[in-house]
Structure 1
Amino acid sequence: MRNLLVLGLALLLAGPASATEAEAWQALREGRAVLLLRHATAPGTGDPANFQLGDCRTQRNLNQAGREQAQRWGQLLRRQGIEHPRLLSSRWCRAQDTASAMGLGAVEPAPVLDSFFVQPRQGAERTRQLIEQINAQPRGVPLVLVSHQVNITALTGIFPASGEGLVLALPLSQPARVLGRIAPP
C-alpha cells in the first residue's frame, strides 16, 4: 500500500512537467509556437578573424558530435509528429549544416537569424526584426529556426547550450514566452 502511495505521489508531481512539455510540442505541431535552436556543437567561440560568410573553410563548423546531434534533432522532431516543418536558418555554415542534417526538408536562409556576436550593437535591431518577421509568417505549419547563442539570449534571456532548443509561443514578444526548453538530443 505504501509503495502505491509513493508511486501515486510521484506521478502526481511528475504530471504537470510532462503536461507542459506535451503542450509545448502540441503548440509547435499546430503552428502556435516556434522551435528556436542553437546550432549543434561546433567547438570554439565566435568565428576566425578571416571569416567570410560564403566560405565554410573560414568559419567555425560542426564537428562529428554536432552532425550527429543535428541528426538526432531530426529524429526527435519526427517522433513528435513534426516531419515537414518550415526550416529557417542563419546563413552561417554551422547553422545551415544543423538544419540540413535534420533531414526534414529544404532550408531557407534567413539573415535575421545571423549571429551578431562580433557586432553586439546590432542586437536590439536584429531582435526587433526577428520578432517582426516571425510574427508575419503564416500560422498553422510548424516552424523551426536555427540560430546562435547571442541571438537566442537577446530574445529570451536564456543562454542555451549548443544544440539546445526553446519552444516559444507565437506571436513572439520580447522577452519571448518560453513554453518548453529541450535539451540537446
Structure 2
Amino acid sequence: MQGWATQNADAEALLRKGGVVVVFRHALAPGTFDPPGMRLGDCSTQRNLSDAGRAQARRIGEWFKERQLQPAAVRSSPWCRCMDSATLAFGTPEVWAALGSPHGAPETTGARHLHELRKALVTASARSGRFEAWFTHMFVQSDLANDSTRSGDALVLQAHQHANPQVLARLSVTP
C-alpha cells in the first residue's frame, strides 16, 4: 500500500491531467446517522460539521489553492454537512440530489441516482484538462466505486462508457 504522500502526488497528477472526478466524503461531522425527524433544508435537524470538520474543509480548499488546482464544477449532496464542506473548500456548490445520502432501509444509493452519477462520471471522464469535485457520503462513495474514505478524504474516479468506475487514486489532505 502506498503512503499518503505518494497517493496525494498521484492524485495531484491525475487532477492536473483532468478527465477525473474527485469524490469527497464530507468533512468531520460527529455521530453516525442523522437524528429522527431530519429534514433537508433545515440544518438544525441534521448532523453537522464540528469545528474540526470546518477546519478540515478549509484545509481541503487550501491544498487545492496551493497547487493552483481549480475544479471545473463543484457539486454537493443537499445535506448540510456536504454543502458546508464544499462551500468551505471551494465556494458555493451546485446542489445535486443524486449525491444525497440514502435514507431508509437498506442504506444503498437508489438505482436512478446511481445511474445519474455514473452517467455524469463518464461525461466528466471524457473531458481532459479539467476535473470536477463532488461532496457526498460514505454510502454513495461505496455504492458508486466499491470503496470509501474517512471523512474529508476523497477518491479520484474515472469511468468510460459501459465500464464500472475505477478508483485511480486516493486523496487525504488533512491529518
Normalising to structure 1: TM-score of the pair? 0.80
Query: Please, which of 150, 154, 159 is the counterpart of residue 148 of structure 2?
Result: 159
Q: Between Structure 1 and Structure 2, whose CA radius of gyration is higher?
A: 1
CA drift of 1:184 comes to: 4.8
Provide the secondary structure at the position in 2 that maps to 1:48.
Answer: coil
- Counterpart AA for 1:34: V
Aligned pairs, number: 170
Amino-acid identity (%): 33
Provide the secondary structure at the position in 1 that maps to 2:28.
Answer: coil
Structure 2 unaligned segments of length 5 or more: list them: none
- Counterpart AA for 1:112: A
Query: Please, which of 153, 169, 172 is the counterpart of residue 180 of structure 1?
Result: 169
CA drift of 1:177 comes to: 1.2
Q: Aligned partners of 2:39, 2:163: CA distance in 1, in Å?
A: 30
Provide the secondary structure at the position in 2 that maps to 1:120.
Answer: coil
- RMSD (Å), alpha carbons: 2.6
- Counterpart AA for 1:105: G
| Cα distance per residue 1:88-124 (max 9 Å; x no partner) | 000000000000001x233100111001143437525
Contact conserved, 1:29 with 1:81, CA < 8 A, in 2? no
Larger RCO, structure (CA 8 Å, separation 6 or more): 2
Provide the secondary structure at the position in 1 that maps to 2:23.
Answer: strand
Provide the secondary structure at the position in 2 that maps to 1:136.
Answer: helix
| Distance of aligned partners of 1:118 and 1:172 in 2 relative to their CA distance in 1, 3 Å threshold | farther
Where do 1:10-159 residues align within 5 Å?
A: 21-102=8-89, 104-120=90-106, 123=109, 125=111, 126-137=113-124, 140-159=129-148
CA drift of 1:141 comes to: 2.5
| Cα distance per residue 1:122-161 (max 9 Å; x no partner) | 5251222210133234554320000000000111222311
Q: Aligned partners of 2:21, 2:146: CA distance in 1, in Å?
A: 17
